[in-house]
Amino acid sequence: MAMSLNRAQIIGNVTRDPEMKQIPGGQVVTGFGIATNLTWTDQSGQKQEKVEFHNIVAWRKLAEICGQYLKKGSKVFIEGRIQTRSWEAEDGSKRYRTEIVAENMIMLDKKGDAPAVMAAPAATDAQAPHAGIDQAPASTTETDTAPAVAQAAPAQQEEDVSIDDLPF
């Protein structure tokens, strides 16, 4: 059996407020964008910069956390897997969208010198929407140094979702 790996890790800024939606099956899905910057020096010594825009999709408890705590401009670490969806547009053409399905999220914005602290344990099963914490993050003090971390439940059911159910 050949080994296979699909991992994406990015740090960037949220480009639009997360859009949270409950699909007909009852699952919560949140979509948002993140921009990353690549800088390099070209052969003539000039500094160059390229911005890359990434589409992020989060499901279930992680979707709720992203929808509640992230906003345009937030600095965030996202870890997940890359997927490309395809669908037929109204004009009959085939459309594609590549996105990162988030499995972990760490908020990197700092309040003063200490990052915001929030721990959200993963739901052990996709049918438990209230697993994890539901309260607001603890207020930070100078002794709090751990970044905010949120983890997704094992993602098994999103493959059953129709492309028409997605809001983005």
Q: What are phi and psi of 132, to 5 degrees?
A: 90, -170
Mean pLDDT by runs of 10 across the 168 residues of the chain is 92 95 91 95 93 95 94 95 92 93 92 43 37 35 45 47 53
CATH number of 8-156: 2.40.50.140
pLDDT recorded at residue 159: 46
Sequence-distant (≥ 6) Cβ neighbours of residue 43 within 8 angstroms: none
pLDDT recorded at residue 109: 83
Q: Are 165 and 22 in contact (CB under 8 A)?
A: no
pLDDT recorded at residue 110: 75
On the CB side of 98, CA atoms within 13 Å amount to 6
- With 0-12 / 13-18 / 19 or more C-beta atoms within 10 angstroms meaning exposed / middle / buried, residue 136 is exposed
Residue 20: strand pairing partners = 30
pLDDT recorded at residue 2: 82
pLDDT recorded at residue 151: 56
Helix (H) or strand (E) holding 67: helix 60-69
Residue 104: strand pairing partners = 79, 151
